[in-house]
Structure 1
Amino acid sequence: MHPARINTPKPGKSFQSKPCIFFVGKEREQFYAHETMLGASSVVFRALLDGPMKESRDGIVYLPEVEPEDFDQLLKFFYRDGYDEAEREVILAEPPHQSAPVLVIDLTRIEDDDYVPETPIEPPCPHVIPARLPYSVSEVSKQWEKWKPDHVDLEQYGSRPPPSPQYTRCQYSCSRSILGCEHKNQYLRMLPFLSLATDLDKCSDKHWKPQKNRHPYESFRPVFFRHARLYILADMYDVQELRELAQYRLYHTLAEYSMYIERISDLLALSHELYANTAMGDPIRRMIVYYFLCFSHCPDLRDCAEYVEALRSNNDFAADLVIAMMMF
């Protein structure tokens, strides 16, 4: 059990007590749980089930505002200190697309010593933040940290690359463009989100790995909502350990998530869910704002009518995002 439990019950005492009956959701789906297990982690449940209230006397609790699926995962946390991942959904088959032009090389001439390709291919600059979706925050931050120009002296070398065989022309050109700062500014807007990991990684969940998406027809809405709604329930019933765990998992899921403009509705629904069920100043709000800040430079997002409409309808989210953009 988690070391921070309020009053960790002994296993025998936990299961010898008579379980309470919970009627959850609009359909009143029935669940059973032991008061000692719930009260060990939640002051709210302990007051509800071990006090003068009617629920304590009758052993029956009605929770019409809670989804049964979410309550089931909440009970799993109380009994085993964890909860199950939700599965992604396949929304539609992969759309047909035209294949990219293929470079054709005349193999009959390739062995000639004097052969030169008609169209030389420039090596890609590996660190550059993509101008178009999809990409993930984690992917871009790793590229930047690997290629950032922390040892380039422009005054010394001017417009020519440093005389080092280990420093390629591509790397030097990339470095000069970064120092020019469009890409640097884009990366700096990712730092607020990346900096959140320092505190969140104190959560001990070493065996869990975030799911990753690879296609625009994969919907991660169930995955996002599982973490978000358990965070909301943990906040509602004052279950600090679950609150930390759900926030940790949502953060790392977002960090690894490749944003596709076709699936922007999933992220906008997540932001709406969090803002509709949390108070001003809640750290989970800051997390989702900083996540969108990472992509604020992206024309795909700026030109998305669904994104613009979401900003107009969710005024608190829009205001927090504007403030973040002004600060960073």
Structure 2
Amino acid sequence: MGKKKGKARDESTHDLQLSSSDLKSGNVYTSPPFRFIVEGTTFYIHAALVSQHSRPLDRMINGDMSETQKGYAVLEEDDQGAFGRFAEWVYKGYYTSGEVVDRSLDESTSEKSLVMDGECEKRMESPAEGLQPDEVVPVADEPPQAVFSWRNVEEPSDFGAVTSPRSLKTKRKMKEVSLTPRMQLKESFIQRKTVIRQENSSGPPPLPNQSPKEDYTDVFLSHARLYVFAEKYDVQTLKILALENLHASLAIYTLYEERTGDIVDLLRYVYANTSETVDDVEDLRTLLTLYMGYEMDTLMQDEDFRDLMVANGGPLLADFMRMVMKRI
């Protein structure tokens, strides 16, 4: 039994070496596809390509685990969207984030329904002169009002295709001005260095929001879930990329009071699915702690945010209070 297991481990290592060689020579696609089932959805990815990026997943494919014998793996606890983005990344070198939801469409539909219901009730009680009781008066849709804020153009950003309206000369002059603690925290967040994004500019750039009607919850959570997936399966490059992509999105995001729920949902997921930061390592929690530091004035207006700090049991509240001390 011992020799058999040892042989399996040797074959697993050999297969991993072969997959690395195949990848360099462009023959990775000659490896057989391996089947992954995530939340009922089946994904097929070339085995050598998966093995090249993740040791834990490689052991499922080439090791002595039950998945190797069956020829497929069921990832019961993983997120389908995160795995789909992992698959996109291994083939393309980048992934597509979640989508922005336009909540103005929901509100306009709801408002129109209320207006129509009100008009119908009025006609049923007392039809207007010249109209039949069953005749409907069309209600014109009002075009959505553009919401403009200086906050939309206030801060610089060096991510993706998004460029700052300020010149480098203006930036240098502003740095010479004494900054408030909040501005210092924000500047520190904005200027956070990137590694993977700087080396690879492929993929769609993040887009800034223009209105409080734009819901970015799915955008933020797509990066956070992929980060958690990459950490679990030891895909370090993807983990860093997901962190940097989330940072890039938050760096150009205007936190309207109506949209604090987007951040609350993100914090709730992150603090429920990640461990506490060790030795000041740059991770998902430290990134969001710094973000809370300069946006705490707006976040504290949200009752759900305050409840989350209490319900979280300490870590979130502790991180928040560290930022409070920096602001003081």
When the two structures are superposed, what TM-score results if normalisation uses the length of structure 1? 0.68
Alignment of 1:1-328 (within 5 A): 7=20, 9-10=22-23, 13-25=27-39, 28-93=40-105, 135=151, 139=155, 145=171, 148=174, 150=176, 184-197=180-193, 202-205=198-201, 208-281=204-277, 283-296=283-296, 298=297, 300-314=298-312, 315-327=314-326
Deviation at 1:267, TM superposition (A): 0.5
CA-based RMSD of the aligned residues comes to 2.9
Q: CA deviation at 1:19?
A: 1.6
Per-residue deviation, 1:69: 2.4
Write the distance in 1 (CA, Å) between the matches of 2:81 and 2:258: 27
Q: Is the 8 A contact 2:96 2:203 kept in 1?
A: no
Query: 1:78 and 1:206, CA in 2 relative to 1: closer, same or farther beyond 3 A?
Result: closer
Given the superposition, is the C-alpha separation of residues 227 and 308 from structure 1 closer, same or farther in structure 2, using an over 3 Å criterion?
A: same
Report the Cα distance in structure 1 between the residues aligned to 2:87 and 2:21, rounded to whole angstroms: 16
Match for 2:289: what amino acid? Answer: V
Equivalent residue of 1:31, what SS? strand
Query: Matched residue of 1:139: which SS?
Result: coil
Letter in 2 for 1:264: T
With over 3 angstroms needed to count, the CA separation of the structure-2 counterparts of 1:327 and 1:200, relative to structure 1, is farther
CA distance, structure 2, for counterparts of residue 71 and residue 15 of structure 1: 19
- Name the CA shift for 1:31/1:196 in 2 (closer, same or farther; >3 Å): same
SS in 1 for 2:53: coil
Separation of aligned partners in 2, 1:284 and 1:7: 30
Structure-2 change in CA distance of 1:138 and 1:53 (3 Å) = farther
Indicate conservation of the 8 Å contact 2:79/2:225, yes or no: no
Q: CA shift at 1:236, angstroms?
A: 0.9
Aligned to 1:111: none
TM-aligned CA deviation for residue 188 of structure 1: 1.9
| Greater mean deviation of Cα atoms: 249-258 or 140-149 | 140-149
Q: CA 1:137–1:237 in structure 2 vs 1: closer, same or farther (change >3 Å)?
A: farther
Report Cα offsets for 1:40-77 as digits up to 9, x if no partner: 01111112211111111221101111222221111111
Conserved? CA contact 1:88–1:220, under 8 Å = yes
Cα distance in 2 for residues equivalent to 1:81 and 1:37: 12
In structure 1, C-alpha distance between the alignment counterparts of 2:230 and 2:287, rounded to whole Å? 17
Whether the aligned pair in 2 keeps the contact of 1:137 and 1:294 (CA below 8 Å) is no
Change in 2 beyond 3 A, CA 1:320/1:203: farther
CA distance in 1, matches of 2:81, 2:203: 23
C-alpha distance in 2 between matches for 1:56 and 1:87? 35
What is the CA-CA distance between 1:17 and the residue it aligns to?
A: 2.7
Give per-residue Cα distances to partners, 1:72-128, cap 9 Å, x unaligned: 1111111221111321001234979xxxxxxxxxxxxxxxxxxxxxxxxxxxxxxxx
Q: 1:301 to 1:51 in 2, by over 3 A?
A: closer
Hey, what's the Cα distance between the residues in 1 that align with 2:64 and 2:154?
50
Distance in 2 (alpha carbons) for counterparts of 1:46 and 1:136: 45
- Give the drift of 1:322: 0.8
- Helix, strand or coil at the partner of 1:87: coil
Contact 1:20 1:33 in 2 (8 A): yes
Note if contact 1:24-1:71 (Cα within 8 Å) is conserved in structure 2.
yes
Structure with more of its chain in helix, by fraction: 2
| 1:205-224 CA-partner distances (Å, limit 9, x unpaired) | 36642111011111001111
What is the letter of the counterpart of residue 280 of structure 1? E
Q: Which region of structure 1 is more displaced relative to structure 2, 273-282 or 44-53?
A: 273-282
Report the CA distance between 1:13 and its aligned residue.
Answer: 4.3
Paired residues of 1:8 and 1:40 also in contact (CA < 8 A): no
Change in Cα spacing, 1:277 to 1:53, as seen in structure 2 (3 Å) is same
Question: 2 CA distance for matches of 1:15 and 1:77?
Answer: 15
- Please give the alpha-carbon distance, in whole angstroms, between the structure 1 residues aligned to 2:273 and 2:153: 26
**Per-residue deviation, 1:145:** 3.6
Contact 1:203 1:244 in 2 (8 A): no
Q: Residue 196 of structure 1: CA displacement?
A: 2.6
Identify the range of structure 1 (309-318 vs 10-19) with the bigger mean alpha-carbon deviation. 10-19
Where 1:9 maps in the other structure, the secondary structure is helix
TM-score if structure 2 supplies the norm length?
A: 0.68
